[in-house]
Amino acid sequence: MARFIARRLLVTIPVLLGLVFVVFSLARIIPGDPCRAVLGERATDAVCNDFIVRYGLDQPIPVQFVLYVEQLSHGDLGTSIKHSRPVTELLIERLPTTIELTLMALLFAIVIGIPLGLLSAYRRNSPIDVGSMIIANIGVSMPVFVLGLLLQFLFALLLKGTPLALPPSGRLSSGVEVLSLVEVWHLESVTGAVRGVLDFVSRLYIPTALITGQWGALGDALRHLLLPMIALGTIPLAIIARITRSSLLEVLGLDYVRTARAKGLRERSVVLRHATRNALLPVVTIVGLQLGGLLSGAVLTETTFNLAGVGRTVFEAITGRDYVVIQGFTLIIAVTYVMVNLLVDLSYGILDPRVRQR
């Protein structure tokens, strides 16, 4: 097992370096003068010379790359042109919204998707199976933002005034506030890294409200998250349901399932204890792979639902041509994605001993 983990880690290192290289190169192929691309057309020559020296743009490309890696190793992602703030600071501020959104969307996809897939396989060709597969097909075909807009239209306009109405944008209603952990626990004296962590967690509204028992705010935050969660979670839900279904159908056809039936085990026990457990193995991989789509989708969902998260920041950076932010955020998102895939691979090795041998 240790060898398996070591090998997987070794394979990840060149990929990470490759990611850094791609992000670095993309910044270099921006057509025209890099200084004026970043600072705007009207930057004077003096300002530009200063800029070029400051960012080492007068150095040869390989040297620039080393400088960039060195800068990254200090946790420095550059300074946003538009916000005039370090990109890391911006990231820490915007990340909680995205974490909350993507995790809830993934949870929604798993909690609904897996049972739906299993049910479709148990009751193959029943109305439940056919119906859920039709919905799954439409679900994967609809762009995230179209579904988001459709949901807003339904729940915020057509159902307005009914108990089913849901808010179409933002994280909380105006006037509602989630008190931070520091405020609730009277920890104003705490400073430094601990304070940073507390502030970060406090921006995850749902866990914070849950821990500190702010039930009114919790309800409000959940109501706001419901539509974005469905919009973002529907594609992974559909994919998970389809994979679960086909995986269980495949396992149900295997010899050992027939053996279990031949032994006279009850059908319930065969399906639930013998087949389902093995059928869920490929689902683990698929769930991990969904994260890339979720992170891409977050750009669209946060734009549609006006949530100030990482995705919305990328969107604004594109519109505002804030290359430093685009670069920094892309790198972080890609690294997160690689890390999650690594964890998925490792967990797969733990769950299925056959994988380790390869």
Instruction: Kindly state whether residue 152 participates in binding other proteins, applying the rule CB under 8 A.
Output: yes
Contact 266, 142 (CB under 8 A): no
Residues 133 and 126: their CA atoms lie apart, in Å, by 11
Residues 239 and 247: their CA atoms lie apart, in Å, by 12
Q: What is the DSSP string of 11-31?
A: HHHHHHHHHHHHHHHHHH-SS
**Contacts of residue 43, Cβ cutoff 8 Å, sequence gap at least 6:** 35, 36, 51
Judge residue 222's burial from the number of C-beta atoms within 10 Å of its C-beta, 0-12 exposed, 13-18 middle, 19 or more buried: middle
Task: Tell which positions 278-317 bind other proteins, by CB under 8 A.
Answer: 278, 292-293, 295-297, 299-300, 303-304, 314-315
Nearest-approach distance from CB 235 to other proteins, in angstroms:
9
Nearest-approach distance from CB 22 to other proteins, in angstroms:
6
Q: Which is nearer to other proteins, 75 or 353 (CB)?
A: 353
- Mapped onto helix, strand or coil, the DSSP state of residue 55 is coil
Instruction: Kindly state whether residue 272 participates in binding other proteins, applying the rule CB under 8 A.
Output: no
Quick one: tokens of 346? 């490792």
Instruction: Kindly state whether residue 1 participates in binding other proteins, applying the rule CB under 8 A.
Output: no
Task: Tell which positions 339-358 bind other proteins, by CB under 8 A.
Answer: 341, 353
Measured CA angle at 321 (ends 320, 326), to 5 deg = 105
Instruction: Kindly state whether residue 149 participates in binding other proteins, applying the rule CB under 8 A.
Output: yes
Total of residues contacting other proteins (CB under 8 A): 54
Instruction: Kindly state whether residue 9 participates in binding other proteins, applying the rule CB under 8 A.
Output: no
Q: Which is nearer to other proteins, 98 or 214 (CB)?
A: 98
Interface with other proteins by CB under 8 A: which residues? 14-15, 18-19, 21-23, 26-27, 29-31, 137-138, 140-146, 149-150, 152-153, 156-157, 254, 256, 278, 292-293, 295-297, 299-300, 303-304, 314-315, 318-319, 321, 323, 326-327, 330, 333-334, 337-338, 341, 353
